[in-house]
Amino acid sequence: MGAMPADAEAPGRASTRDRILEASTELFSRQGYSGTGLKAILAMSNAPYGSLYHHFPGGKEELGAAAITLAGTGYRDLVAAIFAPDIDVVTATSNFAEGAAAVLELTDFADACPIATIALEISSTSEPMRRAAAAAFESWLAVLTDRFHDVGIGAPRARELAIELFCAVEGAFILCRATRDATPMRTIGRAQAASVAAALPHRVPR
């Protein structure tokens, strides 16, 4: 049944496929899909053309979709960690925005949403990639919706809140990067934290 690669879980070095994928997510999210050439990805991941087309026979489009999916699960895990069950949701909402603002400042406004740029670029031109982006976004919304529901917010309202938070953060990424100023992210952080607090069921005094 063929060879089972021994380095699937090699400790020292990530597999070629993984290195290509990681370089893709980074370059795509920073320079966009069309703006990133395969050569740049190959150079960053120290891989030849042959490997790329071996692992991704569908070429750049398949690679793009895979990169979106990888970035999607990565960011979903981050959101899940910030909105962990033992942290109250209002604080988590504040922490989320403050974390995003801090990362923007630390990376010279380069690292924002790893998918948004590609999503806007390709959502009218590539169905596979568009679908991958939609699935990634939905997975984030599901994490948020579940968490809001767990703290007693009704299901429909929980999803609305998740959508509102998502949109506010994504929009803030755009504005912050263009103006090179993280203030908007902190502004919407306060607003969203207030929204979440207001949606919480009747506060029990002690």
Partner DNA sequence: CGACGACTAGATAGATCACTCTACTGATAC
Partner DNA sequence: GTATCAGTAGAGTGATCTATCTAGTCGTCG
For the window 34-73, what string marks contact with a second copy as x by the rule CB under 8 A?
A: xx--------------------------------------
Taking CB under 7 A as the criterion, the residue among 12, 50, 201, 205 binding DNA is 50
Closest CA to 117 of 38, 36, 187: 36
Nearer to DNA, 6 or 84 (CB): 6
Whether 47 contacts 132, CB under 8 Å: no
Structure-token pair, residue 138: 């939905």
Is residue 133 a contact residue for a second copy (CB under 8 A)? yes
Token pair 């299901």 is found at 155
Is residue 60 a contact residue for DNA (CB under 7 A)? yes
Taking CB under 8 A as the criterion, the residue among 119, 158, 182, 193 binding a second copy is 119
Residues 70-89 that bind DNA (CB under 7 A): none
Q: At what angle do helices 127-150 and 59-82 cross, to 10 degrees?
A: 10
Stretch that binds DNA, among 59-67, 98-106, 143-151, 176-184 (CB under 7 A): 59-67
Least distance between a second copy and beta carbon 204 (Å): 25
Taking CB under 7 A as the criterion, the residue among 30, 32, 44, 53 binding DNA is 53
* Chain-centre distance for alpha carbon 186: 19
Whether 68 contacts 136, CB under 8 Å: yes
The item of DNA, a second copy, none sharing an interface with residue 15, based on CB under 5 to 8 Å by kind, is: DNA
203: helix, coil or strand? coil
Q: How far apart are CA 186 and CA 114, in angstroms?
A: 19
Helical (H) or strand (E) element with 27:
helix 16-31
Neighbours of 35 (CB within 10 A): 12
Binding site for a second copy (CB under 8 A): 30-35, 108-110, 112, 116-117, 119-121, 123-125, 130, 133-134, 137-138, 160, 163-164, 166-175, 177-180, 184, 187-188, 191, 195
